[in-house]
Amino acid sequence: MFSERLIMTPGPTEVPYRVMMAMTRQETNSDLDPDFLSFYQDLRSRAARLFGAARSRVYLMIGEAMLGLESAIANTVSRGDKVIVVDNGVYGDAFADLVRSYGGVPVKLGASWRRAVDLGDLERALERNRDAVAVTVVHCDTPSAMLNDLAGVARVAKSFGALVIADVVSTIGAVPLQVDSWGVDIAIGGSQKALNAPAGVTLMSVSEEAMERARRVSYQGFYMSLLQWDSWLDSKGVFPYTVSEPLLYAVSEAINMVLEEGLDKVYSRHLAARRAAWAGFEALGLRHYPDLMEHSSPTVTAAEVPEGVDEARLRDLAWRKYNTMIAGSWGPLQGKVIRVGHMGVQASPEKLARAFLALGSAMRDLGLRVSPEEAARAALESFRY
């Protein structure tokens, strides 16, 4: 049962064989090969389907998703600009640091970490700060397993004329996105989460409004400049810098896997995985974090660690004895919650059942009165779509 290692963390995730093999494709010279440029342009089109982007431009940049998050702020925020920060999680709050680093003034909501952002609170913050140039939000804040209402946030923000910058790193390829119809100006995805590709590629959608804002801000750096992609790739058909062919081949194959299964089926499978994970934690007697399933992401589920249990020791036992890697958390939640990722290929009944069998076994080894078998059965039986 536990002979093979199982990675059930909320990213980086398991890389499927097909994706690994795609990286062995022979390289040419990405700067000179017209066939590679055609491949890249087709990849942009396929990635756009995951974003729900018919009008926004889509770029795949070489660099972990942090590249895209910082680029979004660098290209849209000038010194003294106010930015409303939806801060109901570790990464949501971290947007404030990025805003400050480019001279902006973050206005944090002070939102609860136990629920999705209250759209009324956001509206009131924008009413008090009508000069805010943008709103930042994390769709799924993985350290707390939070899922925010991205469509609702965008609707409120656009009613005040603010740009919408969204971290969709942990939802792209697993949760529906419609950046154009919702009014999301910049959405940043990553390769290492639900797409199950290696870390190292940022996927980004950019609206024309955001690109026009970038022209006015005129960020003076190079690697993170959106204007470089505009003036080189979009205008001349030339990459602004040399890209990694193996990483892009991996992402291409990962996207193919998603599209072959069908987006609607993929999204339903992740909802089933959320129900299964909630059932597994409930069978172990653990309190969910956040409080309501509808505020919890279809890509990761969190629960509070029982009082008196060393979270790090619990995870270490699950990994070393039961070959199953689960996650703790960061920031204020470090040592307080454990998380099971169900992103991409992780979102399967068999893998979730084994994850909860391993977690329950580790808990029992630590003296807790739980039934690992009941937890595994609950996850398996709840996985329906």
Which residue blocks in 17-176 are alpha helix, DSSP H? 17-22, 34-51, 66-74, 90-101, 119-128, 150-159
Residue 357 — left, alpha, or beta (φ > 0 → left; ψ -120 to 50 → alpha)?
A: alpha
Rounded Cα distance, 139 and 353, in Å: 26
Residue by residue, pLDDT tens for the chain (385 residues) are: 778 999 999 999 999 999 999 999 999 999 999 999 999 999 999 999 999 999 999 999 999 999 999 999 999 999 999 999 999 999 999 999 999 999 999 999 999 999 999 999 999 999 999 999 999 999 999 999 999 999 999 999 999 999 999 999 999 999 999 999 999 999 999 999 999 999 999 999 999 999 999 999 999 999 999 999 999 999 999 999 999 999 999 999 999 999 999 999 999 999 999 999 999 999 999 999 999 999 999 999 999 999 999 999 999 999 999 999 999 999 999 999 999 999 999 999 999 999 999 999 999 999 999 999 999 999 999 999 9
Digit-coded pLDDT (tens) for 323-339: 999 999 999 999 999 99
Please state, in angstroms and rounded to a whole number, the distance separating the CA atoms of residues 164 and 170: 17
- Domains contained in the chain, CATH given: 6-14+262-382 (3.90.1150.10), 17-259 (3.40.640.10)
Residue keyed to tokens 């076994």: 361
- State both tokens at 27: 């390289």
| Rounded CA separation 323/4 (Å) | 7
Contacts of 163 (CB under 8 A, 6+ apart): 76, 133, 134, 135, 157, 185, 186, 209, 210, 213
pLDDT digits (tens, 9 = 90+) for 92-143: 999 999 999 999 999 999 999 999 999 999 999 999 999 999 999 999 999 9
